[in-house]
Every structure is written in C-alpha cells, then in structure tokens.
Structure 1
C-alpha cells in the first residue's frame, strides 16, 4: 500500500509545476486581453467619423456648404476645410438627403435657412363670433 501511495504522490504536480501552470494560464489570458485591446483600438481608428448636426435648419438649395466656394468648373471647394472627406466636390446631382448625409459624415454644414415672412392678408383672417353649436366662426354680415 505504501508503494501505491508513493506512486500516486509522485504523479501529483509539484508546487513548481502548479506555479508554472498558473503563469502559463496568466500569460495566455494577458496575451488574449492584449489582442482584444489591439482589435478595439483598430476598430476605433477605422470607425466612420460622425459629426454633430447644427441646431438650425439648413438650406440645401445652395450648391456648396458654408465657407466653401464654387470654382469655374462648378465644383465646390473647401479651401480651409480640414476634415477627412474630399475638399473638392461636385454637388450638382446631390439630393437634399445626400447633402445632409455628406454634412453629417464630413463635418460641414449648408447655409442657415432664411425664414421668409409670410404676412397674412387681413382679408384672409377670419373674424367674427363663434357658433356655440359647432365652434365655427360666424362670418359677419357686410
């Protein structure tokens, strides 16, 4: 029986074996974590840039974004543009939605929409008493 116990005890890992196994596992875990960190950093580097939308309405009837100029070949040129998109662009065939997408992806903005004043003609304004049965305005007799 003592031989059997001796044989079994010899087959058990030593403290050094256990420590080496732990270090091996730790190294594998650390290597995997480092790989994941590198993957995440690469994803962040190549992630498409998203720009914040201005708080005002824009007028996409303009050919070029704000601070861009139209050159002689009808291209829009962002002379001082420092974004990650092309700074020389044809926008003639762009729809309003495509201009908005370019605006959001490339951090540019089209000019602010000018509010047109719509003054109502006095004759268009309905005036008079309100009919209590249906809530409609009763036109005054002229």
Structure 2
C-alpha cells in the first residue's frame, strides 16, 4: 500500500510539473496555500503534494470517525430492538400466566356446576363451555 502511495505521489508530482506555472498557482490559490505567488514551481508542487497528503489523512480519519459513529448507531439500534423484544416476551409470559390463572378460576366454577349436574344426570357426560359474552353452554350426552 505504501508503494502504491509512493507511486501515486510520483505520478501526481509528474502531472503537476507538466502543468504551466499559472495553472499550479491557481491550484495553490484554491487550496489557500500561504504566499503561493512568491514560490517557485518546484516549491509549489511540493506544497501541493504535502497539502494533498494532509487532506488524504484527514479524510481517512474522518471516514474512521464516521464509520465508528455508524457502528455505534447500529449497535444502539440492535440493543433497543433486543430490549423491545425482551419486553414483548415478558408481556406474553404475563398474559399466558394470567390466562392460565383465569382458566383455573373458571374451571373451578365449572367443577361445582359439573358436580351438581352429574348428581342430577348420572351416567351422562357433562361439558360446560364458557362463552365470550360471559354465558355458559352446557352439553349433556
């Protein structure tokens, strides 16, 4: 990678040296190089290369910071999803426990009714079903 950068620097240096002095000065002006008008062509090329390396390093470090921020944001989102999932699972467990408890209470109520009906109708199968509206359906077979 360092060799590639060195080759790249040499290529850029050659390209800059092929430019006219005016074009190099315009580039230096764009990059806000201090006292660019008093420098020679070689000095300007060296300053331009130095400035490009500095920008490359800053961009890489900025990319690292942005990548780290993105990674942290993704981790935070995943953690929030896990928390939401666990809360949902807890609610489901609570609802199931409540349903079992209600079923047990209803079955105890039905147990007494079944006992009374079985005395009235011996040798018959008795089924008691609770309806959603609070009524009961009784089947005697």
Specify if TM > 0.5. Answer: no
With CA pairs under 8 Å and 6+ residues apart, which has the higher RCO, 1 or 2?
A: 1
Mark the structure with the bigger radius of gyration: 2
Higher helix share: 2
TM-score after normalising by structure 2: 0.32
